[in-house]
Amino acid sequence: MSDGIMSKAATMEIPINSNGDAGSLPEDDGLEQDLQQVMVSGPNLNETSIVSGGYGGTAEGIIPTSTIKGSGLHQPHPSPPVGGEEVVRGIAVEKFDIVKKWGINTYKCTKQLISERFGRGSRTVDLELETQIELLRETKRKYECVLQLARALTNHFYSLVQTQHALGDAFADLSQKSPELQEEFGYNAETQKLLCKNGETLLGAVNFFVSSINTLVNKTMEDTLMTVKQYETARLEYDAYRTDLEELSMGPRDASTLCRLDAAQSQFQSHKDKYEKLRADVAIKLKFLEENKIKVMHKQLLLFHNAISAYFAGNQQQLEQTLKQFNIKLKTPGAEKPSWLEEQ
């Protein structure tokens, strides 16, 4: 993305027409998921309990039996110091403010989301950035399909190698016990052992391919999509507070409204700054992800092609050379499980 594109506000407010796609309401499930996402991030109360008079403590007027001696009654506990009550009250007020702010924010965002979905509001759209985001999501789905198929290939081929290993052992045993067919059983045993060895080498290459694609899809791409989710939440908040400011601006200009207008302007600016920062973060991450994806896939596709071609051509030397080229090391014989089972 060029600096010119990054430097301008590449956004626009797109009104959602009730006669458009949203009018058919095919995405009720998506609306419900979005509402759940809005509601799920509750306020952070730092897990400190709120204590107010009488709640969570001994009920007033109940005296433990251990304090009764004869006819004399003793107070069970001295009254808490006045300063302690003020601290507790201050904590309670602070946490109430946190919950109140979270509730207001959730209400505004929910209102904005429903307004967009039902065609009664407008949303800010960066067309270039959202096109790239949708392309990333589509690419991730396709790479996940490749990853699933590559894992299935590994599992099936592992079963084949295990069968070849067992068949080679059976031929070798019969070669020793069948003098009249010793030679025939013998060279079949050697063939199966060679195929088994080459199969283990190929599995090492395919597993390296699977591991690399898994890292790209489930770590690198997922990290970028987490930032995208933060950006989309910030966009919703930005539009919610923008709408709130616009509605207040069209109202009467009395003293009370002017005070609320100043507060709304401040909140709008804060959410605008957050939105623009995350938009820039997403643009940068998308750029670096694309560069990393090309680099990783160029290497992995070359590895996969060379290893598969060498194996099915029966070229053992080229197959082993492919593993050396990509610095892939198999476990030494006698290990509990072969390297091509690692990181599955």
Task: Give me the pLDDT at residue 231, please.
Answer: 95
Task: Give me the pLDDT at residue 54, please.
Answer: 35
pLDDT over 90 (residue 216): yes
**Domains of the chain in sequence order:** 143-153+193-329 (1.20.1270.60)
What is the spatial distance between Cα 167 and Cα 150, in angstroms, rounded to a whole number?
25
Residues in CB range of 149: below 8 A, 6 or more apart: none
Round to the nearest angstrom and report the end-to-end CA distance of the chain. Answer: 36
pLDDT over 50 (residue 335): no
* Cα dihedral across residues 123, 113, 236, 136: positive or negative: negative
Task: Give me the pLDDT at residue 38, please.
Answer: 53
The model's confidence at residue 1, banded by pLDDT at 50, 70 and 90, is very low
pLDDT tens track for 11-43: 455 444 433 344 444 445 555 555 555 554 555
Return the structure tokens found at 92.
């309670």
Question: Smallest Cα–Cα separation from 300: which of 215, 193, 224, 185?
Answer: 215
Q: Which of 144-148, 167-171, 321-325 has the lowest mean pLDDT?
A: 321-325
- Tell which phi-psi region holds residue 95, choosing left (phi > 0), alpha (psi between -120 and 50) or beta: alpha
Task: Give me the pLDDT at residue 79, please.
Answer: 54
Return the structure tokens found at 73.
């009654």
CA dihedral 38, 40, 42, 46 (to 10 degrees): -140
Mean residue pLDDT across the chain: 76
The model's confidence at residue 158, banded by pLDDT at 50, 70 and 90, is very high
Place of tokens 């009018």: 23
pLDDT tens track for 271-283: 999 999 999 999 9
Q: Quick check: helix, strand or coil at residue 57?
A: coil
pLDDT over 80 (residue 241): yes
pLDDT tens track for 274-317: 999 999 999 999 999 999 999 999 999 999 999 999 999 989 89
The model's confidence at residue 136, banded by pLDDT at 50, 70 and 90, is very high
Residues in CB range of 91: below 8 A, 6 or more apart: 48, 50, 51
The model's confidence at residue 255, banded by pLDDT at 50, 70 and 90, is confident
The model's confidence at residue 261, banded by pLDDT at 50, 70 and 90, is confident
